[in-house]
Structure 1
């Protein structure tokens, strides 16, 4: 719906003259309409990953991504039992995104658990099998790395490309607005 500039009444998009006062309705340029639509755009995606920490307790990594217009805000924190820590917040424009890649690296925690398990086994403690087994099960950290002009951030739950609905929507959002940034391979 449009508004008449002369009398302020609502006007259907298809008419050229105001039905109330008869004034000519000016066509709005398409570029301005698209800019207004982008400015009003709002999206939210939530990612949650559960990881085993030190072979003992679950740690949840919460990542909330909010889009207002072309501005992306990322808020991440970790939670175990009732404690939250490691909060990180980042905000940037979608045009600032340089690269989006899927990363896979050996976890530092897994290396620690492997060394601990081997040392325990070498001194004759068969309980070393527990940290060793845990480390081998969680050997790799897989995450989506989004780099922008001023830094970057990781989304751990977005590793399942093609099967994760929120991740796919987020990828599509970035690709539609900044196609040169998408270096990701969807599996």
Structure 2
């Protein structure tokens, strides 16, 4: 049995646009319109799951997907940095940001270490491999990063070197404890029949 997981990153939101740690904002009008424009472009899923964030749920809705929230697919908890821009945090706590970006076990910001999110998503992938058919998961960019790290058995130190643009697709297919990766592609509007 081959399992397929299609990860979709959320549409553009103010926090993504401003390089601000996610604080619960909605997708913006441009992001919502972009998601609506590509609705119907994904292969038919056997199941749809989302991160609990507003922007992931709104992206799924704009894509025409009705999914259940999967708590284990939550985004990375950034603790006291939530709602602040990376520039603000870097100016106030440069050593902390440097450590956070280089040490996957660091979490002195009061949130979750990168290593832990990679392990959490890896455990979810273990269960996903037992599901027949395609799962579409509309999830935070860091969940996509963690899935790639876990699926390819990479060091968590590469986490921040993986870019996940808004409204892109990253696909994993696997069986027998092994995943193959199809790297992020943009969603495209479905072709119309002539």
Answer whether TM exceeds 0.5 for this pair.
Answer: no
Greater Cα radius of gyration, structure 1 or 2: 1
In terms of fraction of residues, the more strand-rich structure is 1
TM-score range, shorter chain: under 0.3
With normalisation by structure 2, the TM-score equals: 0.24
Relative contact order (alpha carbons < 8 A, sep ≥ 6): 1 or 2 greater? 2
With normalisation by structure 1, the TM-score equals: 0.25
In terms of fraction of residues, the more helix-rich structure is 2
